[in-house]
Structure 1
Amino acid sequence: MTGEVDSCGHDFLGLLVNVYHDSDEKNRFLIQDIVDECKTFYFAGQETTNSLLAWITLLLAIHTDWQDKARAEVTMIVNETLRLYPPLNGVVRKAVRDVQLGELALPNYLDLNIRFIALHHDPAVWGDDVHLFKPERFAEGIAKATNNNAAAFMPFGLEPRSCVGMSFAITETKIALSMILQRYTFTLSPTYVHAPLPNLSLKPQHGLHLLFHSLH
């Protein structure tokens, strides 16, 4: 058994299989648990990255002055896009005991629907320009952008329950965006109709119509 577990490796799938063989039954995964985790990581991870890239290119097509800046620095643009158009609208959490949350008394077994998009558009946190595309608000980091309330920025959830694919999705997005910006400038097509549609992820309901122009 030890040799079998050790041979699974330490990548994502290997860690899941190790949990399947965990000696503590309370921590052990079932086969269906492993299948579900893999579906979440690969399918949902692809969905969130596609959504993020779509909204980034839309915002840069509107604010073309940021395309040159993006070639040097993409992190602020990624964060501001995640704030305005988070790939997931929110998460559901269940209270496992009675909890006092500020002035709210949350009873055991209550389901909480935490809406990312509401937190990300709260002027009390982000200021009166909350609906504007301003990547420079992240120039000094997330804490400064949120007036030291970093929990108000949670496009991938919040520790210790944050999305396992967060770093992968952001890295993948930065690479793809950098490759696009090295080759093209782009503007918004007059045929584009703005209609964000919340489904599994936040998508442009009628597609994203852009006009690309080669830099070479």
Structure 2
Amino acid sequence: EKIKRMLPVFSACCTETIIRWENSMPSEGSSEIDVWPEFQNLTGDVISRTAFGSSYQEGMKIFQLQGEQAERLIQSFQTLFIPGYWFLPTKNNRRMREIDREIRKILREIIGKREKAMKNGETNNDDLLGLLLESNMRQSNGNAKLGLTTEDVIEECKLFYFAGMETTSVLLTWTLIVLSMHPEWQERAREEVLNHFGRDKPDFDSLSRLKTVTMILYEVLRLYPPATFLTRRTYKDMELGGIKYPAGVNLLLPILFIHHDPDIWGKDASEFNPARFADGISKAAKHQGAFFPFGGGPRICIGQNFALLEAKMALCTILQRFSFELSPSYTHAPYTVITLQPQHGAPIRLKKLGS
């Protein structure tokens, strides 16, 4: 229900993006756009508005700073590893610490204003920060030991960037790339969208009933999961697959490898085939737990419904207005930098559909 109330924000942000694309295109013919940065901007806009509501501008500033921080972190990964390098006063390290201090300062101000307003009954809690603070106040009920500290809330807010922006933007990017490679599935998805909505704004209930679009998104998440692996730690001595592990062992779960395993998915494991999800996730593979782009169990990503709804809204809005194909300059080179990204961008040729 809370996510449902965020749908107008999804719709408004998607519409703004589409209108900007349309205005940059000639009246006839096609126009080439690198959709990777476009989707980063779109999902950044969405998460800023849904996470921080009236503090949207401050939220955008936080995400811009986190984007710079991520780029600098990537740069440090690409250099020769030296133990303790992070503690050296290099230009890059100093700037990363400056960014962290600035982010924390902005978040403290936002949280302080919101807590004061909540105590005075002056604000609703429909954004993610409001829900977080409301839940925290309800759980603690005046008991400081039970609630989150301001620093805890700051750390949760910093996660909004990765969980709400980065993963959804790569999902949308790979979806447009794959549908450009497979125009028959693009047309099937468009037909479903137009049958449900025509040119009208998609509504929550109908988005939930889109079978072909959902199958496509699942298959893209299988082939190109935003996170290529997960880590977990054993909390007690246990046996997994005939191997005994003591408590405190870090385990790496290779999502990308498992999602491409022919023994689990069949001989066409490396091929794009959304039809494998026609009967749902549980029957798509030989093992029910083989599909886990959002993790699984009690630590499954709490933002998966948010991400899928946002992706459906964006994809539907695009399919209603454009057909698209890969630019001749596109080079297929997936690579992992925190998430699985197109190394050379995603140049797509868009063509307006007739009215």
TM-score calculated relative to the size of structure 2: 0.56
- In structure 1, which of residues 20, 24, 28 is the aligned counterpart of residue 147 of structure 2? 28
After TM superposition, which residue ranges in structure 1, 4 or more long, deviate above 6 angstroms?
Answer: 5-8
What displacement does 1:29 show?
Answer: 2.0
Verify the 8 A CA contact 1:94 1:110 in the aligned structure 2: yes
Q: Residue deviations 1:58-97, cap 9 Å, x none?
A: 0000001111111213000000000000011122111111
Runs of 5+ in structure 1 lacking a partner? Answer: none
Which one scores higher on RCO, CA 8 angstroms, separation ≥ 6?
Answer: 2
> How far apart are the structure 2 equivalents of 1:164 and 1:122?
26
Instruction: Please state whether the residue corresponding to 1:39 is helix, strand or coil.
Output: helix
Equivalent residue for 2:236? Answer: 97
Equivalent residue for 2:186? Answer: 67
Equivalent residue for 2:164? Answer: 45
What displacement does 1:5 show?
Answer: 11
Change in Cα spacing, 1:161 to 1:194, as seen in structure 2 (3 Å) is same
What displacement does 1:121 show?
Answer: 0.8
1:67-146 equivalent positions in 2, closer than 5 A: 67-71=186-190, 72=192, 73-146=212-285
Identity %: 43
> How far apart are the structure 2 equivalents of 1:11 and 1:82?
26
1:19 partner amino acid? N
Q: Residue deviations 1:103-129, cap 9 Å, x none?
A: 111211111111211111111110010
2:267 partner amino acid? D
Instruction: Please state whether the residue corresponding to 2:297 is helix, strand or coil.
Output: coil
2:232 partner amino acid? R
> How far apart are the structure 1 equivalents of 2:169 and 2:217?
13
Change in Cα spacing, 1:178 to 1:10, as seen in structure 2 (3 Å) is closer
Q: Residue deviations 1:148-193, cap 9 Å, x none?
A: x221101011121111111010000001001111111111111111
Verify the 8 A CA contact 1:90 1:117 in the aligned structure 2: yes
> How far apart are the structure 2 equivalents of 1:182 and 1:154?
30
> How far apart are the structure 2 equivalents of 1:93 and 1:164?
17
1:57 partner amino acid? L
Runs of 5+ in structure 2 lacking a partner? Answer: 1-117, 193-211
Equivalent residue for 1:169? Answer: 307
Change in Cα spacing, 1:211 to 1:9, as seen in structure 2 (3 Å) is closer
Equivalent residue for 2:200? Answer: none
Change in Cα spacing, 1:66 to 1:16, as seen in structure 2 (3 Å) is same
Equivalent residue for 2:173? Answer: 54
Change in Cα spacing, 1:125 to 1:193, as seen in structure 2 (3 Å) is same
Q: How many correspondences in the alignment? A: 212
* Larger-Rg structure: 2
> How far apart are the structure 2 equivalents of 1:5 and 1:117?
49
What displacement does 1:40 show?
Answer: 1.1
Equivalent residue for 2:73? Answer: none
> How far apart are the structure 2 equivalents of 1:59 and 1:70?
12
Equivalent residue for 1:16? Answer: 132
- In structure 1, which of residues 175, 182, 196 is the aligned counterpart of residue 334 of structure 2? 196
Equivalent residue for 2:297? Answer: 159
CA-based RMSD of the aligned residues comes to 2.1
More helix by share: 2
> How far apart are the structure 1 equivalents of 2:301 and 2:120?
25
The answer on 1:211 being equivalent to 2:349 is: yes
